[in-house]
Amino acid sequence: MNILINFISNQRFEVQLNFIKNLNKNSNIKIFIFISDKIKKENVIKLFKSDFKILNYEDNKIKHNLKKILLITKLLSIIKLIFFNLSLVQLIYEYMHLRKLNKFYLYSKKIIIENNIDLIFSNSDRSAELENSILKAARELEIPIIVPYLTLLAEYSVLIKSKKQNKINSLYNIFLSFKFKKYQIQKKDFYPFFIMNALYKFGTLSKNPWIMGNGYSDIICCNNTYTYQQFINDGVDEKKLIVTGDVSYDEIFLNLKNKNKNKNSFYKKNNIDFHKKNILVALPQLAEDGIMPWNQHWEEVNFICNSLDKLNANILISLHPKMNIDKYKFLEGKFNLKIIKQNLSTSIPYADLFIATYSSTILWSILCKINTIVIDFYNLDRSFYNSLKSPRLFKKKSEYISFIENQPFKKKFFDEDLNLLSFQKTFDGNVINRYIDLIFKITNEKNIHNSRDRQFT
């Protein structure tokens, strides 16, 4: 069984790498990873220790062609600045994007055939970039495509805030705003028009890119039955959906199970007081995500750290992978806290209180039955969390300060939330086994289907 997995960003690298390593333990599965030179270079040591075949996104010829396209695109950006938003420039943008997709599609098809790929794991089915080319090649070769559950999928409210409106200042934009009107939400489009039209001509434009599951994919994996129902409510075909659990759950489950055995090691490694309670904070990446400029970001970070500074507890700070630890080291000298180097999935079982903005990690803490605070002083609004009963949500800093100073460790009841999060069904240490069962089920069904086709031809 040959499986191709895309590595397209560093953001979920550790989670994806662990997922791949666990899949690779099955002797009947052989893993191939499609990876860009940039990610390969930044993670060369971790990849070197791994037992799977690495395929570069670009061989030399493809790399040369993509570099030419990138150079032309940069030159066009200069032209765009000089001549504003001329339709001709946008048409050239579209042509270059379509050319890039086509070139990589041919390369992807060659790679899939040469390595006898049976199944593909893709991070998304609405990518605007090279991953889209892989999915088109897979679809034409009748290779099943699975989108694993790696993180919370952005809701309309969050996506809309992150999208810029396509300005109607050229004939090109005027024409395409009518052509793709059904894709608009609150007068915003999921892609810039030149990308949308390139994907349309390429044949991979999702029926509704605002919702995962409407593009080239066969199976969408969900972390719980609530997410499963949300997909159905948003119009995704129920036949595509399956509840597997988050790919991080097995590691968290194991760390929670071994909490008492590894407790001394955790406290010594982080040089914290064994007799104090632990407050674990996942700092928001407000600047890194473009939600705020850096000066406002640091104001918020300082507020969060200062609010906890005088509490008689171990204050542990967890940084998101996209946050450069060197930028945050000064916090240890300024406040009474420790920046932990362990993954959050390793550290979260040791928390007595977990504080974060809207994040999939909130679900981790609830599954571990840890008191949880959600801070949203930034008007991010995630409707999913309105259904959860145990976390305390604070939108006003004054109310948050009052709570944190008086009753942060008062024990919560988690039963309703655990039921909503499919605790019994998914938080059992068997997520990877469900993925392996799914892999063989979908490929066996494909082989039976192909066998029947041959009988009738």
Residue 258 and residue 231 share a domain: no
| Domain end marker among 229, 245, 261 | 245
Q: Domain for residue 188, yes or no?
A: no
**CATH code for position 282:** 3.40.50.2000
Q: Domain for residue 57, yes or no?
A: yes
Q: Which two tokens stand for residue 255?
A: 């760390």
**Which pLDDT belongs to residue 457?**
42
Give the bridge partners for 68, in sequence order: none
Residue 61 and residue 82 share a domain: yes
pLDDT along the chain (457 residues), means of 10: 80 78 86 77 65 67 55 60 61 85 90 93 87 92 92 62 70 86 85 91 92 92 90 90 92 94 91 92 86 90 92 92 89 93 90 89 93 86 75 90 83 88 94 94 71 42
pTM: 0.83
Residue 143 and residue 27 share a domain: yes
Q: Domain for residue 442, yes or no?
A: no
Residue 260 and residue 212 share a domain: no
Decide if 12 contacts 125 (C-beta within 8 A). no
Q: Domain for residue 194, yes or no?
A: no
Q: Domain for residue 438, yes or no?
A: no
Residue 87 and residue 227 share a domain: yes
Q: Domain for residue 445, yes or no?
A: no
Q: Domain for residue 68, yes or no?
A: yes
Residue 125 and residue 37 share a domain: yes
SS3 annotation, the chain: CEEEEEECCCCCHHHHHHHHHHHHCCCCCEEEEEECHHHHHHCHHHHHCCCCEEEECCCHHHHHHHHHHHHHHHHHHHHHHHHCCCHHHHHHHHHHHHHHHHHHHHHHHHHHHHCCCCEEECCCCCCCCHHHHHHHHHHHCCCCEEECCCCCCCCHHHHHHHCCCCCCCCHHHHHHHHHCHHHCECCECCCCHHHHHHHHHHCCCCCCCCCCCCCCCCEEEECCHHHHHHHHHCCCCHHHEEECCCCCHHHHHHHHHCHHHHHHHHHHHHCCCCCCCEEEEECCCCCCCCCCCHHHHHHHHHHHHHHHCCCCCEEEEECCCCCCHHHHCHHHHHCCCEECCCCHHHHHHHCCEEEECCCCHHHHHHHCCCEEEEECCCCCCCHHHHHCCCCEEECCHHHHHHHHHHCCCCCCCCHHHHHHCCHHHHCCCCHHHHHHHHHHHHHHHHHHHHHHHHHCC
Residue 264 and residue 282 share a domain: yes
* Half-sphere exposure at residue 181, Cβ-oriented, CA atoms within 13 angstroms: 4
Question: What is the domain count for the chain?
Answer: 2
| Domain end marker among 215, 245, 275 | 245
Residue 386 and residue 329 share a domain: yes
Residue 261 and residue 383 share a domain: yes
Residue 300 and residue 416 share a domain: yes
Q: Rounded CA gap, 64 and 106, in Å?
A: 15
**Which pLDDT belongs to residue 290?**
76
Query: Could you tell me the residue range of the domain that residue 217 belongs to?
Result: 2-156+205-245
Q: Domain for residue 446, yes or no?
A: no
Residue 294 and residue 230 share a domain: no
Comparing C-alpha atoms, which of 443, 373, 431, 379 is closest to residue 405? Answer: 373
| Domain end marker among 222, 245, 268 | 245
**Which pLDDT belongs to residue 65?**
56
Residue 237 and residue 253 share a domain: no
Q: Which two tokens stand for residue 345?
A: 């999935």
